[in-house]
Structure 1
């Protein structure tokens, strides 16, 4: 496994941990480069239903490792190579069919916030701080990441984050639409995993189909198309639909089998 990243499975839950606590889990080029492969492994594994993304120690991530920039982003070619690695990591997370949940404590800034925004859900501990800081570095933010941010928080709040580079606390981040839930720091793990287990109990055929349709909408698709119709038809003819209806009529919990 790449230095700075830990990957583990616990039953149906996979966990990707940014693990450089001495650097506030700053994301190195090698870490960016490793994320698409980990995401692909999660997508392939039929035993896994959800990916949890978190940071080791007291922080999620303080962002990209700026210490690498003088060497790796010192030329147009180097910048293009570095940016492709970042874009590949973000796009891999954002295009997952299986749901992803960012579990955030401490700093979630810059590239760290970029990864959290690319996840489907964000649970934050009280005291977490969020910010996206390209304006402090003379960088123009990635298009896809900007689109994801605008879709999540709206253009006014996206401008607030991107143009000011200011940090906001978890409560303000929730008010802006960036965060789904804010909980006490000592209950973050329990609250996040309770939600993750809820996702695991639902129809995975429904979850993955709806995630694909949501991604199309976020990308700008305005109307249904043949692919959307195909996704919906596959669900209707799948085993989860029959089980869900039967369970509802029998007044019992469903036992979904789609993996």
Structure 2
């Protein structure tokens, strides 16, 4: 694991923590580079159902570690190579079929906000602040992350974020759809939501998450992969259990992993 990242497991839930509180959890190049391996580990482990992402201390993440830019982004070639590493992390997170939940306190800015947007869910504490600031650095945001942002909050709000680089508070973030909800008891509410995800049919969750990902990537109609996903669900043990539980008026006990 790269310095500055901590990966832990608690039953069915994995947590990836940005652990550089003294630097507001700024994300180094090595941290970006390690994220795809973490995602692959979670995807491959049948015991894990959800990946949480959070920050140590008071902040989620204030963004990429700008102190590295002088050495790693001092040339156009270096900047392009750095961007590929960032895009690899974002692509990996967006492609994970198991749910990803960003648990946000304090600053969620720049690359930190980019990471949160790549997650399936974003829940914030009331004091959180959000912003994406490439216009302050002369950077043009990459295509995938721009598309994710536009899909999430619409072009008008995406333009406000990207072109102004201004920050907004958690209340405004919820109003525009950047976060799912804002809580005083962030840990308690997120834990309850994650428990709900773990109780649901994992075959349903992963199948639907994959289809949503294909839609966000531009799919306009069904294809062979989607029909295979839906057919497998109909013939799967979770479907039989779900129907039987509904008819018997009891909670389902899903077993598919």
TM-score, normalized by length of structure 1? 0.98
CA distance in 1, matches of 2:239, 2:133: 45
Partner in structure 1 of residue 44 of structure 2: 44
How many residues are aligned here?
257
SS of 2:9 mapped into structure 1: strand
SS of 2:43 mapped into structure 1: helix
Instruction: Tell me the CA shift for residue 76 of structure 1.
Output: 2.0
CA distance in 2, matches of 1:32, 1:62: 14
Partner in structure 1 of residue 87 of structure 2: 87
Partner in structure 1 of residue 247 of structure 2: 249
Partner in structure 2 of residue 109 of structure 1: 109
CA distance in 1, matches of 2:225, 2:43: 20
5+ residue gaps, structure 1, are none
CA distance in 2, matches of 1:58, 1:189: 13
CA distance in 2, matches of 1:174, 1:93: 22
Partner in structure 1 of residue 61 of structure 2: 61
1:1-259 equivalences under 5 Å are: 1-184=1-184, 187-259=185-257
CA distance in 2, matches of 1:210, 1:78: 38
TM-score, normalized by length of structure 2? 0.99
Instruction: Tell me the CA shift for residue 220 of structure 1.
Output: 1.2
Instruction: Tell me the CA shift for residue 81 of structure 1.
Output: 1.4
SS of 1:63 mapped into structure 2: coil
What CA RMSD, in Å, does the superposition of the two structures yield over aligned residues?
Answer: 0.5
CA distance in 2, matches of 1:226, 1:36: 27
Instruction: Tell me the CA shift for residue 80 of structure 1.
Output: 1.6
Instruction: Tell me the CA shift for residue 224 of structure 1.
Output: 1.1
CA distance in 2, matches of 1:245, 1:73: 55
Residues 203-233 of structure 1 show CA distances to partners (whole Å, capped at 9, x for unaligned) of 0000000000000111111111111111100
SS of 2:152 mapped into structure 1: helix
